[in-house]
Amino acid sequence: MALRTSPEVGGMGHSIKRKEDPRFIRGKGTYVDDVQLPGMLYLDIVRSPHAHAKIVKIDAAKAMAVPGVLAVITGQDLAKYNLHWMPTLMSDTQMVLPVEKVMYQAQEVAAVLATSRYAAADGAAAVEVQYDPLPVVVDPKKALEPGAPVLRTDKKDKKDNHIWHWEWGDKGATDRAFGEAAVTVKEDIYLPRIHVASIETCGCVAHFDRVNDKLTVWMTTQAPHAIRTVFALVAGHVGLAEHKIRIISPDIGGGFGGKVPVYPGYVIAVAASVLTGKPVKWIEDRMENLQADSFARDYHITAELAAKKDGTLTALRIKTLADHGYTDAAANPSKFPAGLFHVCTGSYDLKAAHVEVDGAYTNKPPGGIAYRCSFRVTEAVHTIERMVDLMAHQLNIDPADFRMKNFVKPEQFPYKSALGWEYDSGNYGGALKKAMDTIGYADLRREQAEKRKRGQLMGIGISSFTEIVGAGPSKHFDILGLKMFDSCEIRVHPTGKAIARFGTKSQGQGHETTYAQILAEELGIPAQDIQVEEGDTDTAPYGLGTYASRSTPVAGAAAAVAARKVRDKARKIAAYLLEVAEDDLVWEPGKFSVKGAPSKSKTIQDIAFAAYTNHPQGMEAGLEAVSYYDPPNLTYPFGSYICVVDIDSGTGEVKVRRFVAIDDCGNIINPMIVQGQVHGGLTMGLAPALYEEISYDEIGNVRGGSFIDYLVPTAVETPKWETGHTVTPSPHHPLGAKGVGESATVGAPAAIANAVVDALWYLGVRHIDIPITPAKVWKLLREKGVTE
């Protein structure tokens, strides 16, 4: 995209430095734990050591004797206000504090309120809870077997642990295609539980002001407006009305989906503040964060892919078991219990597909959120990219050639997928070719062949993913009934500077910079002269928040539309000032000039001043606009990644030698920020591919519940990412942009897994579930007779 503004204005395409950075590099950000109010109390939480147990007795006497402890709050206390249960985003129910039994290890059992952080912790350690252990169900397959203990005894009519069945696509056509197929491949693919592990954990400071009857909550949330409405709906009966609730989402130390849900700790802190009239701080520690906050993935997938003899793909069939823990607290749009998993036909022109997903309850923490990805899209991409690779290897066709042959072609867009999505734009072959050229694909294949002769294990893996982001069009997308629009409100001040507020909330993505650049592009006001604010529900327009790569596709579009409304009014004022008809004016970023007489012009700053000092009679003063943007379609970013791995046959360690990522996110707002998003996303793709997993033993003890054994990659494991772009604008987005924050997380794991299997295919290895740990590879190698 050609640059339309100067570097000084800093519109789209300029890598301007971030407006957020000056405070962060000085340690002057304000994160939730930095909020300290006079008289503030602290909350600490007692958690269950059992995965499933009746609560016989909670004895608070010793805790109450700890100096500084003011109260021990239990489920019985909350039950008096009917606040011991709360709804989940998927219209299931979740305990705030239990009355009868606990359902997973580390579940909240009671809360201790004290005058200091340390006293609260002492109090929590002194609460004595007597449990009566119950049978634990960890495996979702066993959970669905007849005779399995029914976990949700709170639901009167519930006779099993099955949550829902969901299916999509044409089953008949798919089965027929499989019947006619010359070649089919089938594989079980497990995508384990993982955790976003943002470096800042979750927490809040709740302050109920009894004089003004107003609740202010500073909290780590990606969706402050929706949270306000949820609080009003859940606690309206105890007097919390929506205009008396203010949610402030301050600087957020990483979100990645983990700061979308409402956790019990928030609700208890709010209740404690309302009851005491004092500010209450709750900050979870890392182990609480990993063990109790929402998990991602945990999909047990069985996939089948069908092809003709010549390698033309025809159909995809998927059955999946989704382990949701003890409640369905996934963060999906209401109509999509399995998120957007049915984008699983990926970048390929399949004629038929059918997907089934069943949800199951187990004795594990709830969740089913994203891990830096749009709703269940990594699950979809990993499945199709593994299956396509499997088919290519099965047919002995190079995986790159095989993809090229089966891609949806550029001339097929807008493309209706077999599962009903309308892909907006794409050039999949272009991205793959660029990735192959960048990495030197042919040379690598030669090197691999030579190394194999010497017994050295080297693999090359490709992932050509298609994402689906920017939820979403209101006819299909809502969360608890709230349509998934987003918003921007712009006010241009008399001196030509501006403030813009949004319904989203950055967690590090750099919105203060990129939104200012969009407005600079549309209005010609320098990005430096535009202040961007988000996260305060008393000031910002309503929006659904930042997740699923929706900020640029939805709120970014709202910024463009609102700016164009401002420009429309500016045109009227310019016409008045220049004494010409509106049609006689030509716009270039920053000014209107008279057609044929370019010296006669008014800058946007001139016009802004006139809007308050010399506006036309009959026109309202001021220069401002608001847009609530309802996207006509989702956007479909895509890319091709190629990964080279070397495997140490002695230790089983996989080393990523090179990784080339070619992304296409449409038109780019700030190339520096986009590259940074891709770097970070790739690292969060590497992490679950090789290192991260939260698993449970047979009695529900969590493994991977601290940074001791939940292995977030450091700078040493992380390769030097090589990035590049192709640009295929979205035809329906006002700026032609698509969103980029999550593409790399979605696309990278399959490239790595495909590379490892590529290295080991000749030994008879067909699939390895991620994370591909040295232990797994070592064991496989020994089974295949590789001794060193």
Partner 1 sequence: MLVKLSVNGEKHEANVEPRLLLVHMIREVLRLTGTHIGCDTTHCGACTILVDGQPVKSCTMFAVQAQGKQLMTVEGLEQNGKLHPLQEGFMAEHGLQCGYCTPGMLMTSYAFLKKHPKPSEDDIRWAISGNLCRCTGYVNIVKAVQHAAAAISQGGA
Query: Which range of residues in 30-38, 70-78, 171-179, 757-765 is near partner 1 by CB under 8 A?
Result: 30-38
Bridge partners, 204 (sequence order) = 219, 282
Minimum distance, C-beta of residue 102 to partner 1, in the bound complex (Å)? 22
Closest to 19 (Cα-Cα) out of 513, 505, 498: 513
Q: Give the nearest distance from C-beta 254 to partner 1 in angstroms.
A: 5
Residue 351 touching partner 1 (CB under 8 A): no
Cα–Cα dist 239/228, whole Å: 14
Range in contact with partner 1 (rule: CB under 8 A) among 395-403, 455-463, 504-512, 630-638: 504-512
38 binds partner 1 (CB under 8 A): no
In this chain, which stretch among 55-63, 123-131, 140-148, 711-719 interacts with partner 1, using CB under 8 A? Answer: 711-719
Please state the φ and ψ torsions of residue 118, each to the nearest 5 degrees.
-70, -40
Torsion of the alpha carbons at 114, 116, 121 and 122, rounded to the nearest 10: -80
Cα–Cα dist 115/552, whole Å: 43
Tell whether residue 18 is a contact of partner 1 (CB under 8 A).
yes
| Residue 213 makes contact with partner 1 by CB under 8 A | no
Q: Should residue 37 be labelled a site residue for partner 1 when binding is judged by CB under 8 A?
A: no
Asked if 720 touches partner 1 (CB under 8 A), the answer is yes
Instruction: Enter the tokens of residue 669.
Output: 């707002």
Residue 26 C-beta: closest distance to partner 1, Å? 6
Q: Give the range of 18-26, 382-390, 495-503, 594-602 binding partner 1 by CB under 8 A.
A: 18-26
The smaller minimum CB distance to partner 1, of residues 287 and 499, is found at: 287
Q: Which of 451, 483, 564, 679 binds partner 1 (CB under 8 A)?
A: 679
Write down the least CB distance from residue 505 to partner 1, Å.
Answer: 12
Binding status of residue 20 toward partner 1 by CB under 8 A = yes
Q: Is residue 36 a contact point for partner 1 (CB under 8 A)?
A: yes
Q: Which two tokens stand for residue 180?
A: 């006619």
Which sign does the torsion angle of CA 646, 648, 649, 653 carry? negative
Residue 15 beta carbon to partner 1: minimum distance, rounded to whole angstroms: 8
**Binding window for partner 1 (CB under 8 A); candidates: 406-414, 506-514, 534-542, 546-554:** 506-514
Among 1, 150, 672, 765, binds partner 1 (CB under 8 A): 672
Other Cβ atoms within 10 Å of 384 Cβ, number: 27
Q: Is 510 in the site for partner 1 (CB under 8 A)?
A: yes
Q: Is 714 in the site for partner 1 (CB under 8 A)?
A: yes
Q: What is the CA radius of gyration of the chain?
A: 27
Give the C-alpha separation, 248 to 236, whole Å: 19
With CB under 8 A as the contact rule, the residue among 10, 11, 33, 262 that binds partner 1 is 33
Cβ-based neighbours of 310, under 8 Å, separated by 6 or more: none
Residue whose CB is less far from partner 1, 265 or 680: 680
535 is a site residue for partner 1 (CB under 8 A)? no
Indicate the residue among 254 and 622 with the shorter CB distance to partner 1. Answer: 254
CB 683 → partner 1: shortest distance, Å? 4
At 738, list the tokens: 């698509």
- Helix locations, 181-321, DSSP H: 224-235, 264-276, 286-292
For residues 484 and 478, is the Cβ–Cβ distance under 8 A? yes
> 107, 222, 291, 677: which one is catalytic?
222
Of the residues 87, 149, 676, 731, which one makes contact with partner 1 according to CB under 8 A: 676
Regarding 24 and contact with partner 1 (CB under 8 A), the answer is yes
Smallest CA-to-CA distance from 286 within 704, 715, 691, 607 is with 704
Residue pair 663/743 in contact (Cβ under 8 Å)? The answer is yes
- Within 13 Å and on the Cβ side, how many CA atoms surround 197? 24
User: Under DSSP, is residue 39 helix (H, G, I), strand (E, B) or coil?
Assistant: coil
Of 174 and 675, which CB lies nearer to partner 1 in the complex structure?
675
Q: Catalytic residue, from 489, 521, 692, 742: name it.
A: 742
- Report phi then psi at 295, rounded to 5: -90, 170
638: contact with partner 1 by CB under 8 A:
no
Positive or negative: CA dihedral 384, 385, 389, 390? negative
Clarify whether 509 is annotated catalytic: no
Nearest CA among 432, 416, 417, 330 for reference residue 376: 330
Q: Are 463 and 444 in contact (CB under 8 A)?
A: no
Residue identified by tokens 């320098």 is 526
Q: Which is nearer to partner 1, 256 or 477 (CB)?
A: 256
For residue 742, indicate whether it is catalytic.
yes
Residue numbers 229-258 binding partner 1 by CB under 8 A: 251-254, 256
Q: Which residues contact 617 (CB under 8 A, 6 or more apart)?
A: none
The SS3 of residue 296 is strand
Whether 208 and 215 have beta carbons less than 8 Å apart is answered as yes
Determine if 141 is a binding residue for partner 1 (CB under 8 A): no
3-state helix, strand, coil in the chain (%, to 5): 30, 25, 40
Q: Does 372 participate in catalysis according to the annotation? A: yes
Cβ atoms of residues 708 and 734 within 8 Å: no
Residue 639 neighbours by CB distance under 10 Å: 31
Taking each helix axis from N to C end, the angle separating 377-394 and 399-406, rounded to the nearest 10 degrees, works out to 110
DSSP 733-751: STTSB---TTHHHHHHHHH
CB of 200 to partner 1, least distance (A): 5
185: tokens are 């491949």
From 90-98, 534-542, 601-609, 717-725, span contacting partner 1 (CB under 8 A):
717-725
| Residue 28 near partner 1 by CB under 8 A | yes
Considering the complex, state which of residue 707 and residue 762 has its C-beta at the smaller distance from partner 1.
Answer: 707
291 labelled catalytic: no
Q: Which stretch binds partner 1 (CB under 8 A): 412-420, 529-537, 607-615, 676-684?
A: 676-684
The yes or no reply on residue 29 touching partner 1 (CB under 8 A) is: yes
Residues 328/103, Cβ–Cβ less than 8 Å: no
Footprint (CB under 8 A) of partner 1, residues 316-335: none
The single residue of 202, 204, 344, 373 carrying the catalytic annotation is 373
**Part in contact with partner 1 (CB under 8 A); list of ranges 86-94, 210-218, 300-308, 678-686:** 678-686
712 contributes a contact to partner 1 by CB under 8 A: yes
Where does this chain bind partner 1 (CB under 8 A)? 17-18, 20-31, 33-34, 36, 117-118, 196-201, 251-254, 256, 285-287, 507-510, 672-673, 675-676, 679-684, 706-708, 712, 714-716, 718, 720-721
Catalytic positions, written as ranges: 222, 372-373, 742
